[in-house]
């Protein structure tokens, strides 16, 4: 496959690039600063682009079988900063996808982007109010945008919980169509497992127009 990766210099994006290369795919890493991506491979092309400019992205989407995004932004204590990063990116990316005639788009989101009164107390009354409410809300708005305004895009929202730098056990990644994965496993997903799942999804063509929560197996 020919795969374009957005956010390829980040901790998760680097692993997505490596996973795709290890499986024999041709990868275009679309980054803001090419010097930050140290990976060298004859099937890896590193290009510079502005994620908020569809005309900057579109030439690098041409001919791709899928575009994968690990783009993200941080949050802050007490949610003092309004966040529109994810919706701004999504709108630009979708325009570029349409111009390049690419339909397959897989992006990283999070558990609990939607509110539910049955979610754990610590999520609804500690984590969201103090740390992640605006970030998770904007991720949810991004998912709503893809569902409601992009019927021509075969998207998959990959929703991990807190990402860790632990090594993968190699076990199958657990997944569930919903806000989280009902499981007795410890909370958290290693980045390599998230990368594995994203490439699995690109290869299989599964979960089109779905939001899929994942966690390490």
pLDDT at 78: 47
Q: Could you state, in order of their start, the residue ranges of all structural domains in the chain?
A: 2-215
**pLDDT for residue 182:** 85
Token readout for 119 is 């979610």
Closest to 10 in 3D by CA, of 136, 215, 165: 165
* Assigned CATH topology for domain 2-215: Rossmann fold (3.40.50)
Tell me what pLDDT residue 49 has: 96
What's the confidence (pLDDT) of residue 77?
45
Q: pTM above 0.85?
A: yes
pLDDT digits over 128-167, tens only? 554 456 788 899 999 999 999 999 999 999 999 888 998 9
What is residue 13's predicted lDDT score, i.e. its pLDDT? Answer: 95
Residues in the chain: 217
Which portions of the chain are predicted below pLDDT 50?
Answer: 77-78, 121, 125, 130-131
Residue 134: predicted pLDDT: 79
């Amino acid at each position: 496959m020919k795969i374009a990766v957005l956010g390829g210099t980040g901790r998760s994006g680097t692993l997505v690039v490596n996973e795709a290369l290890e499986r024999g795919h041709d990868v275009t890493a679309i980054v803001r600063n090419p010097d930050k991506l140290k990976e060298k491979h004859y099937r890896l092309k590193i290009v510079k682009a502005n994620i908020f400019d569809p005309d900057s992205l579109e030439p690098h989407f041409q001919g791709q079988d899928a575009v994968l995004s690990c783009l993200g932004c941080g949050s802050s204590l007490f949610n003092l900063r309004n966040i529109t990063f994810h919706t701004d990116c999504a709108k630009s990316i979708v325009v570029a996808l349409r111009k390049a005639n690419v339909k397959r788009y897989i992006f990283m989101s999070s558990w609990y982007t939607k509110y539910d009164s049955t979610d754990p107390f610590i999520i609804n009354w500690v984590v969201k109010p103090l740390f992640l409410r605006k970030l998770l809300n904007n991720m949810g708005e991004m998912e709503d945008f893809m569902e409601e305004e992009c019927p021509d895009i075969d998207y998959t929202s990959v929703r991990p919980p807190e990402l860790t730098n632990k090594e993968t056990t190699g076990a199958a990644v657990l997944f569930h169509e919903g806000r989280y994965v009902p499981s007795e496993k410890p909370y958290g997903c290693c980045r390599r497992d998230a990368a594995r799942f994203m490439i699995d999804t690109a290869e299989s063509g599964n979960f089109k127009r779905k939001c899929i929560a994942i966690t390490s197996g």
